[in-house]
Amino acid sequence: MTVPEPATSRPATAPSTTSRPTLTADVPDIAPDSARPTHDGPLATAQSQLAGAIRRLGYDEGMHAMLATPRREINVAIPLRRDDGSTALFHGFRVQHNVSRGPGKGGLRYHPSVDVDEVRALAMWMTWKCAVVELPYGGAKGGVAIDPRRYSQAELERVTRRYTSEIMPMIGPERDIMAPDIGTDAQTMAWVMDTYSVNQGYTIPGVVTGKPLEVGGSLGRATATSRGVVHSTRAALHEAGLDLPDVRVAVQGFGKVGSHAADMYADAGARVEAVSDQYGGLHRSGGLDMQRVLDHVRTTGSVVGFPGADPIDNTDLLTLDVDVLVPAAVEGVLTADNALDVAARWVVEGANGPTTAEADAILAERGVVVVPDILANAGGVVVSYFEWVQAQQAYWWTEAEIEQRLAERMLHAYAAVAEVARREAVSLRDAALLLSVQRVAVAHRTRGLYP
């Protein structure tokens, strides 16, 4: 049994002499030592997903070790002179998981829980995400263990510039391109770009994406991840003969991804019945008035306290009686403890790694359709690629052009994954992993192993 490129895919760039791997159930599910996570968490989930794909594709231990192990990683100390004159020290990381298909691509996260294993997992997921939407990138990720809410804008600028200077040998428009993530934004990317450019002696907008329009950013980038989530949801619903006006939606996480996605769902006619952020949530049967919710958040900084809706916590939101659940906050929120209670028919992963391997198996057994993160939230990296292309050409596209190209790319990727899922009788996640892992492995084998 083989996993050929789906009929909807563009022609492969690898030579025709490259053989396709066969699927087998006989390869033992044993990860090489270098692939074994040291504790439970995002890395354990990522490694478990990879091990399953390796087993089905029939790759040997050497290929497994290569795909499981980051190509490069750096751990840096970041001293900060605080506004009051005192000194604080933070730890930062940058991981390039795989660069067989092109330069590394991945966000920069500022959060107090950041550690190297989390960054390794996120970088691996970026490898598969770029491959599943057929971008000429490998996967990378960065992070600093800092709570940005506790520091001034000037302090965050100094942290960003010092972090950039420490990892500068690893990054560049042909090496590794950063983008915003949790705790960072367009301004953060402008600081990274400026620090890198000043050290190189000329302006290099392609070193980051997700930067302000004034310094080479792209129209449509701020909402791209959310649009990709909505496109993926619509594609999944169409397979069941439904559309967005037919469903009720709950969105966990009301940040850069969740807030825009909730607004887009409502605009498309869906009834968004629940939303939440880190402080709490709202629930209203029949749907929330999203414009009023957004106005409330702009005024107060949280969805909490919105009049005309019942309060709900993040845990209870995950098991609400809705049709579509969108976990768009952080990883690991759907677990073996709550997967049996999920009432939604569709789970569309707006966040990276929100579903543990155990929960994924439970949801699949119950017939819940999970649109995986490496497909559902790939809209951000797709438009990041568009921004990078525009920077390389110094020619800028209209927002309508970007939206059209994003929709085409997302729907094409969904169709390719769905075709593999039907052919191989596997879940959408397994199909996305089979397709993306195979594409990375073919690129690696086509390039060969440097002595």
* Residues known to be catalytic: 141
Q: How many other C-beta atoms lie within 10 A of the C-beta of residue 380? A: 27
In which residue are the tokens 């709900």 written? 312
- Strand ranges of the sheet holding 248-252, from the earlier edge strand across to the other edge: 310-312, 280-283, 271-277, 248-252, 324-327, 346-348, 369-371
User: How far apart are the C-alpha atoms of 144 and 156, rounded to whole Å?
Assistant: 11
**Tokens encoding 385:** 């690629």
User: How far apart are the C-alpha atoms of 209 and 189, rounded to whole Å?
Assistant: 7
Residue type, 419: E
330 by Cβ neighbours in 10 Å (0-12 / 13-18 / 19+) ranks as buried
Answer whether 282's CB lies under 8 Å from 259's CB: no
Distances (CA, A) of 121 to 113, 233, 320, 410, 418: 14, 24, 29, 23, 24
Beta-strand relationship, 87-98 and 138-144: antiparallel
User: How far apart are the C-alpha atoms of 411 and 408, rounded to whole Å?
Assistant: 5
Quick check: helix, strand or coil at residue 179?
Answer: strand
CA contacts within 13 A on the Cβ side of 336: 4
**Tokens encoding 131:** 């491959």
Which runs of consecutive H residues, i.e. helices, occur in 278-378? Answer: 290-300, 314-317, 357-365, 373-376
Alpha-carbon torsion (143, 409, 371, 137), positive or negative: negative
Distances (CA, A) of 96 to 26, 104, 190, 387: 31, 6, 21, 20
**Tokens encoding 430:** 């397994």
Distances (CA, A) of 138 to 11, 105, 193: 19, 6, 20
User: How far apart are the C-alpha atoms of 23 and 54, rounded to whole Å?
Assistant: 9
**Tokens encoding 386:** 């568009």
